[in-house]
Structure 1
Amino acid sequence: MDDQLRTAVKNGDVDALYTKLAGDPYILDRIDHIPIVDTSLHIAAVAGKPHFTMEVAKLKPSLAWKLNHTGLSPIHLALQHECIKMVRGLITLDTRLIRVKAKGMVTPLHYLAQIEEPDLLAEFFICLSIVY
C-alpha cells in the first residue's frame, strides 16, 4: 500500500481516499489480489476509524474477508481494539463475516464469546439465525 493511502487510512480521511482513487481507480483491486495482506480495512480497524472502514468495505467488500500477516481479518482486529461501531457496521454489510476463520480457526463469534460484550454477542446470534 502506498504512503498516501496509508496516511488517508490512519487519519480516516475519506476525501483523501477518493482523491487517491481518482488518480488510481484500481488500487483496491491490486490490494485484493494479494492473498495475505494488511488492507486499508485492517489498518483502519487498528486505528479505530469506523467511518473510513465502512466506506472502503462498501467500495470493495472482498477486503473484509482478507487475513493479514498475523492471520486476522478486519473484524477480528476491530474486536481486539474494541471498536464495536466498526464491528456492527461490517456485519451490517455482510452478516457472514461473523464466521471468517482467522488463525487457529477462531471466528469473530468465538472471540466475542470470550469478551464481555453481551449486546453484540446477541446481535451475532441474530445474524446467525438470518444467515442459516
Structure 2
Amino acid sequence: MSGAIPALHPDRWTAPFWEAARRHELVIARCTRCDTPRPMPPGPYCWACDAGEVTWERQPGTGEVFTYTVVRQADPAYVVAVVALDGIDGVRLQSDLVGVGPDEVRIGLPVEVVWDDRDDGTTVPRFAARTT
C-alpha cells in the first residue's frame, strides 16, 4: 500500500479502534452521556459535555473526500485525504488513498475503507475509490 506509516502506539483511548481494525471493522467513539461522536483520535473527555466514557459504534466504512493533499516527495506521489464518514456528522478520518492517483482525486470523491494488514500485526484502515 502507498505511504509509509510509522509504528503505532495505541493508548487506552485508541486501543478499541485498533482492535476493531484488526477484525476489519471501522468504529468511532460516541459519548455515553450526550451521544456526541468523538473525533479520531478521541481524547479522554467529550468536547461537548466533558464526560469520559464512550461506546464504540461500527460504521459502514464509506464516505467522501473532504479535503486532500498530494505528497510528491515520494516516488510515486501519493494522496493523503481527510475522509468525511457517511451518516455521522463531524467525524473525519485521515488516510492515504489507495489506487487513486494525484490526477484522479477530487473533493467529494466517494470512497470506501480497505484494510492494510501489516507485517507487525496491526491493521490500518485506508480508503479507495468506491466501486459500488
Q: The TM-score by the shorter chain falls in which range?
A: under 0.3
Question: TM (normalized to structure 1)?
Answer: 0.27
Rg larger in structure: 2
Question: TM (normalized to structure 2)?
Answer: 0.27
Which one has the bigger helix percentage?
Answer: 1
Which one has the bigger strand percentage?
Answer: 2
